[in-house]
Structure 1
Amino acid sequence: MEKRVDAILEEVHRIAPLSGAEPWDNVGLLVGAPSWSVKRIAVAVDVTEEIVERAAEKGCSLLLSHHPLFLHPLKNVLLDTREGRIIERSLAHHIALVALHTNWDRSRIGVNVALASALSLRDVRPLLPATEVELWGDGAVGFLDVAIPLQDFCVRLREAWNISWVQAYGDPRRVVSRVALLGGSGGGFWRAASASGAHVYVTGDLKYHDRSDALWHGLDLVVVDHGEMEEWSMKHLAMAVREMTGLETEVFPLPRRMFSA
């Protein structure tokens, strides 16, 4: 069984509508042709040369990534650059590259919904609801089944999302029950998290002054790796794509290269 790239995109954009993407974002088909045939699909949080090669070895001719290979227009495509090398290898292997970025963040089954589900949060709602009915919105807010100390929450979160590190700010003994989260770079959303009544806010990037202001307002904070946080949702994307298209779909995780010295 095989399908054209454009037919697959039509199906994928039902769960991650293009209308959900930020104006500055770069989503959709970035490399390849709509007419290319696809028998097997690869899914990854980032596009790397290593993942393109692994996808080729597995017979994939479409790579769905969360982060776009490039966000801004390229002035040239040079083979001694990261983007140029990846484009060259993708074309050589006849692998189309498609990005589902902020439209996957805001999907009703996307990043934030998947993260909330992994924590078994109850009464989950968007941190900032979308105006369009087919979209979820930004972030998520919900309740833990049992209130627990912040320190124990960090352990639970690390295990639930399979992430390599957790950095918390606040009193480790403070009991938390209402959780706000936003996958990826969500430091600027701490005010919405505070207004939601959350005891703790979890995100992937947080600037120093945002951290200071949030703590002053009584909001505990948890910071995790941006990519690892969002990578948890890739298996949810793969399952949905497999179900919609009927094509074999495999997640290609990024290697973890971070260490503490």
Structure 2
Amino acid sequence: MRIADLITWFEEWANPAWCESWDNCGWQVEPGILQEPARVLVCLTPTLAVMQEAIASNANLIFAHHPLIFSPPKSFRIGEAIADMVRLAFLHNIGIYSAHTNFDQVQDGTADVLAQILELQDSTPIVPTQNGLGYGRVGNLQPVITLEKLLTVIHHQLAPKSLIVSPTADLHQEISRVAVLGGSGASYISAVLKTHAQAYLTSDCKFHQFQESRDRGLILIDAGHYATERPACDRLTQKLRSLNLDWVELSQHDEDFREFFPE
């Protein structure tokens, strides 16, 4: 399959026109590779380590969730990460394509995959956008499990480096309804409360957002940005493999950017 055909297939599923106004979905760098057979390296974040992996693998497309460029750069200088990525992309004929907030909304996107991992039943978007799609997912647990069991499942399935949970959370509390949103989802707390979820799995939550959730009766679970979005990259890789491309792999050099000391 040519890269042009691959992108057409993808955009019929997750239209870049659905991305938020502040976002930058779609082509980040396209060095004239549209007619080439697709050799794809899927990643969460396009970094120099991922670029070097793509070069070593003879890939011609880095398919990333996070955009390389969020706002227009004012300059490109050697030694700056974005400039070096762009230089290497043109030098080695490797395209960089991003699917961000458009990918967040769709079936088998970032939130939907989390809902599937936790086996949420009858899941629906926390914030609907169009045609049954939207941001986040909320659904029911059948059978009902304790909060301790839910945290164990999250830790086992997502392998986060750390889990942060609302204070005074009762580990023996029975949980029947859970909301999930991969990446930075703390701004959706008010929307989650309207869904009657008892627990909310997301990431990048601040001190006072834990306070707000505690005070409003919602158990907030922060598993980290990487852990909550990487599974959707794995699912995307599986879907691309079903297209019988020349080559497609999930990056082994994606980075969490956070370390905990001591572990």
TM-score range, shorter chain: over 0.9
**Aligned ranges for residues 84-163 of structure 1 at < 5 Å?**
84-131=83-130, 133=131, 136-163=133-160
Amino acid across the alignment from 2:184: S
* SS at 1:231 equivalent: helix
Amino acid across the alignment from 2:22: W
Give the equivalent residue in structure 2 for 1:62: 61
Report the Cα distance in structure 2 between the residues aligned to 1:184 and 1:65, rounded to whole angstroms.
14
Give how far 1:60 is off: 0.8
Report the Cα distance in structure 1 between the residues aligned to 2:12 and 2:159, rounded to whole angstroms.
28
Tell me the alpha carbon deviations over residues 80-111 of structure 1, each in whole angstroms, 9 at most, x when there is no partner.
11111122222222110000000110112201
Please say if residues 149 and 173 of structure 1, whose CA atoms lie closer than 8 Å, have aligned partners that are also in contact. yes
Tell me the alpha carbon deviations over residues 158-204 of structure 1, each in whole angstroms, 9 at most, x when there is no partner.
11123222111122222212000111011010111111010101111
Q: Specify whether residues 260 and 152 from structure 1 end up closer, same or farther in structure 2 by C-alpha distance, changes over 3 A only.
A: farther
Please say if residues 31 and 90 of structure 2, whose CA atoms lie closer than 8 Å, have aligned partners that are also in contact. no
Amino acid across the alignment from 2:259: M
* SS at 1:184 equivalent: strand
Q: CA RMSD in A?
A: 1.7
Give the equivalent residue in structure 1 for 2:162: 165
Is 1:188 the counterpart of 2:212? The answer is no
Give how far 1:259 is off: 2.6
Matched residues, number: 257
| TM-score, scaled relative to structure 1 | 0.92
Report the Cα distance in structure 1 between the residues aligned to 2:119 and 2:201, rounded to whole angstroms.
15
Tell me the alpha carbon deviations over residues 131-184 of structure 1, each in whole angstroms, 9 at most, x when there is no partner.
2x2x62000001122222222211111111232221111222222120001110
Report the Cα distance in structure 2 between the residues aligned to 1:246 and 1:50, rounded to whole angstroms.
23
Give the equivalent residue in structure 1 for 2:249: 250
**Which stretches in structure 1 are left out of the alignment for 5+ residues?**
none
Please say if residues 38 and 62 of structure 1, whose CA atoms lie closer than 8 Å, have aligned partners that are also in contact. no
Please say if residues 192 and 200 of structure 2, whose CA atoms lie closer than 8 Å, have aligned partners that are also in contact. yes
Amino acid across the alignment from 1:13: E
Report the Cα distance in structure 1 between the residues aligned to 2:218 and 2:178, rounded to whole angstroms.
10
Amino acid across the alignment from 1:51: V
Is 1:11 the counterpart of 2:9? The answer is yes
Give the equivalent residue in structure 1 for 2:175: 176
Give the equivalent residue in structure 1 for 2:261: 260
* SS at 1:238 equivalent: helix
Please say if residues 154 and 168 of structure 1, whose CA atoms lie closer than 8 Å, have aligned partners that are also in contact. no
* SS at 1:211 equivalent: helix
Amino acid across the alignment from 1:155: T
Amino acid across the alignment from 2:14: A
Identity %: 26
* SS at 2:183 equivalent: coil
| TM-score, scaled relative to structure 2 | 0.91
* SS at 2:8 equivalent: helix
Report the Cα distance in structure 2 between the residues aligned to 1:164 and 1:95, rounded to whole angstroms.
32
